[in-house]
Amino acid sequence: MTHNYPIGPIMLDVEGLTLTPHEKEVINHPNTGAVILFSRNYESPEQVTELIASIRAARQGDLLIAVDQEGGRVQRFQKGFTRLPPAARYAEAPELAEPAGWLMAAELLAVGVDFSFAPVLDIDCGVSEIIGNRSFSTDHELATRLSSAFRKGMQAAGMAATGKHFPGHGAVALDSHLTLPIDERDIDSIRNKDLLPFKQLITEGLEGIMPAHVLYPNIDASPAGFSPFWIQQILRRELNFNGTIFSDDLSMEGAASVGDFPERARLAQQAGCDMILVCNNPRAAEQVLDSLPVTQDPLRERRLNSMRGKPQMDREQLMNCEKWQKISDQINQTFNHA
């Protein structure tokens, strides 16, 4: 019997360079909606193109493919891809932010990836090691300008952008992969600084947003990714965001405070996340797939569909494209020989 499942609400990962028979079954679960790729899934452009084709073939229905390819220390595909600088370096050559966004997106689209979780919209406050130079700037105006340019480049290549980590991860020293960071600021401090890049890019049509696993106890009792206040009140109503909301990875320690995996997924969904990430823990991913009721949600499906990549050329065409060669050379000369 053939199904034609819509895009489900769960994003999961796979173990290696090729799919196992069991992974094929999991990808075909009605709740699966996306697969995120990591460095361990990447060997070469040819291999990853094949892996992505086999992931899509395993699903009887729709599916998205994502990766973290910001640049700097967060670039999962390296060999055969242009080495991108950390976001903070674009302040040295602001004119390259938009071309770099185009290049990052075009290279990924050419191997079959739909989108990269970028750009980072956090403002670096000089305390967060996990954000640090992943932020475009310590100055909110410059961060907004550069991230907006980077997104415009992504859009020109045919890729939807995801701003992260709402409402701002840059003012906490702790890493939410390892613990739950606590930001003691009040809402006005966050509104007057951290929210500004989000606000601007939303007005420009930003397609996706990922909330932070950060607790703002003077504002709300739940970490942002599980908080109806942050997601529905501030993001949806106050900032008028009507794009896709992705939870940050539920396997991160910053999510552990709210309960076991099924509970985390339920709360993230209840708070307003359209897609829930469960990475690097296949058992947890399967628990979540099986525990969430399978529901049809036309609005969620429409939002997730808007994240689909629109590639303009395959890899061979890209490599022969003058625009790509020129931008790749500029990035290498400006950032990789310093």
Which residues are known catalytic residues? Answer: 177, 248
For 126, left (φ over 0), alpha (ψ -120 to 50), or beta? left
The one-letter amino acid at 314: D
For 183, phi and psi rounded to 5 degrees?
Answer: -110, 115
| Chain mean position to CA 33 | 14
Report the alpha-carbon distance of residue 231 to residue 224 in Å, rounded: 7
Q: In terms of Cα–Cα distance, which of 192, 160, 199 is closest to 302?
A: 160
Query: Which residues make beta-bridge pairs with 75?
Result: 69
Contact 134, 70 (CB under 8 A): yes
| Chain mean position to CA 276 | 11
| Chain mean position to CA 44 | 22
Spatial neighbors of 250 by CB under 8 A, at least 6 apart, are 261, 264, 265, 268, 276, 277, 278, 284, 288
Q: In terms of Cα–Cα distance, which of 243, 248, 244 is closest to 215?
A: 248
Alpha-carbon Rg for the chain in angstroms:
19
